[in-house]
A and B are shown apart, each in its own frame.
Chain A
């Protein structure tokens, strides 16, 4: 059914967007190559199940493989900051696609087809994805309240000062990368077993930018904002042909206009609106 596929797509998009939000939003480390980890998860899960492995085992494997590469890239990120980091992570994305294209065991340009169905039926699969999405939302909310979230916040704001408070910036950044890329791997594995076919184009620079757009539009670091943005932006192309045809134009314009007019994204717009409304009510009562 149509609604089922919408909800499934929505669910792994939310996981994917929140995984980037963890790195870029919580910890302040920009990434322009996040789709690579989505791809690593998708490819490793696809390889595993097409080779006869169990779907349930494929999920943790995808997370572990993506998280492992995330650890390595995170290590690289320790050496560079800001603009250098943006370009380095972009480079990681290109390395991923450039590598996959030349590898026969990954299907090269053709990709991997015939990924087996998880065998649980469409509705349970949708519910599974939604449950994972809910778990990732809960994890994000928890993380933000924990001392780790507190430390991430400090690093995102001013990492040099965080150091003077005894915070081991490197270890926190690595943790953020491992968590974020591992969850992207999970999203990738869920995606691969939904479409049952992976090809390198699904994980290229444009995809990295699309997920970045979800985080930016939702509001960098905002959990609910990103959830809403990911849910809406992921299903709009399925709902509206116009959106599907002009998806990139819309993403491009969205990225620019959000940065230009409301760098805090939907989240800060809603907060401003809320403050106006509640402010007006208070004033009304006062009169």
Chain B
């Protein structure tokens, strides 16, 4: 592999991380909850997306339905599990979330089986050449999705009423409420967006690997946690940069660091090194 291949592969990975981590940082920014169970929602997206594709034969239709359905699932998840814990000390929601995540993985194992599922006819497997680098179509779609969804989110946050309400709530919830902003609605929308993006990432990972297993959420989710810390918890722009940087670092790291650490530990080595120098993350929360 040459450098441009490594770079492009890294950026594709980084886009997947970004799709997961942006949702996580949105939840943290709004509720100060480390939403570990986000990983379970990611996996749910992968399962539903794969099963619907195999059922309907249309990846595109399955994708859209999955993203919407999982978005609503995220809202219900918030309502059922997190809303009653908002007033409790912060470690309560964190530990509850870990419990939920582990339980979700087990439920997937019981419902869908421990063995991996795969696409009957995996779509988007042809290769195309982009800027001199040969890429699977699925990887191009990942990049496009990341740009469209996260770009769309930026527009939503900047231009629309709900976006402005969202930003106001993030900076000062009590103040926002006194201006008549419906906090509950902002939180629901937040969970919808975060969960929908995680589902999109889940389907794309399922497609690229052509397999779905109950524990597939683990590794990317833990990395997403490292990423949102690097990005400065709650800082969306910082999270994006950290996600892309990590993708690239891992991609090069597998070549140069393989004898010391496995790929999945690089994120945390990077994280710990950074935290020792800048305890507030790479980017300060605005």
Binding site for B on A (CB under 8 A): 30, 32, 76, 79-80, 82-84, 86-88, 90-92, 94-95, 97-99, 101-102, 205-206, 209, 212-213, 216, 246, 248-249, 251-257, 259-260, 263
- Interchain CB contact under 8 A, B94 and A86: yes
- Interchain CB contact under 8 A, A248 and B106: yes
In the assembled complex, the CB of A223 is this many whole angstroms from the nearest CB of chain B, namely 19
- Interchain CB contact under 8 A, A260 and B90: no
- Interchain CB contact under 8 A, B95 and A91: no
Q: Which of B95, B233, B269 contacts A259 (CB 8 A)?
A: B95
User: 10 nearest interchain CB pairs?
Assistant: A98-B265, A255-B99, A252-B103, A91-B268, A252-B102, A256-B99, A249-B106, A259-B96, A79-B279, A98-B262
Interface residues of B in 209-253 (CB under 8 A from A): 218, 222, 225-226, 229, 233
- Interchain CB contact under 8 A, A251 and B102: yes
- Interchain CB contact under 8 A, A95 and B265: yes
- Known contacts being A30-B91, A88-B275, is A251 close to B261, with CB within 8 Å? no
Q: Which of A87, A98, A251, A253 contacts B225 (CB 8 A)?
A: A87
- Interchain CB contact under 8 A, A212 and B95: yes
Q: Which of A90, A98, A252 contacts B264 (CB 8 A)?
A: A98
Q: State A209–B34 Cα separation when bound (angstroms).
A: 15
- Interchain CB contact under 8 A, A83 and B95: no
Q: State A257–B84 Cα separation when bound (angstroms).
A: 12
> Would you give the 0/1 interface string for B244-286, flagging 1 where the beta carbon is closer than 8 Å to chain A?
0000000000000011111011111101100110010100000
Main secondary structure of the interface of B (DSSP, over half): helix
- Interchain CB contact under 8 A, B90 and A82: yes
Q: Could you give 13 example pairs across A and B, Cβ below 8 Å?
A: A80-B279, A83-B34, A84-B233, A84-B279, A88-B229, A91-B269, A94-B268, A212-B98, A251-B99, A252-B101, A252-B105, A256-B99, A259-B96
- Interchain CB contact under 8 A, A259 and B106: no
- Interchain CB contact under 8 A, B222 and A205: yes
- Interchain CB contact under 8 A, B272 and A95: yes
- Known contacts being A92-B268, A256-B81, A263-B88, is A209 close to B102, with CB within 8 Å? yes
Query: Inside 8 A of A254's CB, which chain B residues have their CB?
Result: 99
In the assembled complex, the CB of B270 is this many whole angstroms from the nearest CB of chain A, namely 9
- Interchain CB contact under 8 A, B261 and A76: no
In the assembled complex, the CB of B83 is this many whole angstroms from the nearest CB of chain A, namely 11
Q: State A95–B32 Cα separation when bound (angstroms).
A: 26
Query: Given known contacts A87-B271, A249-B103, what 6 new A-B pairs fall within 8 Å (CB)?
Result: A30-B94, A91-B272, A94-B268, A102-B259, A206-B102, A255-B102
Chain B residue at smallest Cβ distance from A204: B218
Query: Inside 8 A of B261's CB, which chain A residues have their CB?
Result: 95, 98-99, 102
Q: State A254–B269 Cα separation when bound (angstroms).
A: 31
- Known contacts being A80-B275, A102-B259, A209-B102, is A94 close to B94, with CB within 8 Å? no
> Would you give the 0/1 interface string for B78-118, flagging 1 where the beta carbon is closer than 8 Å to chain A?
00010011001111111110111111111100100000000
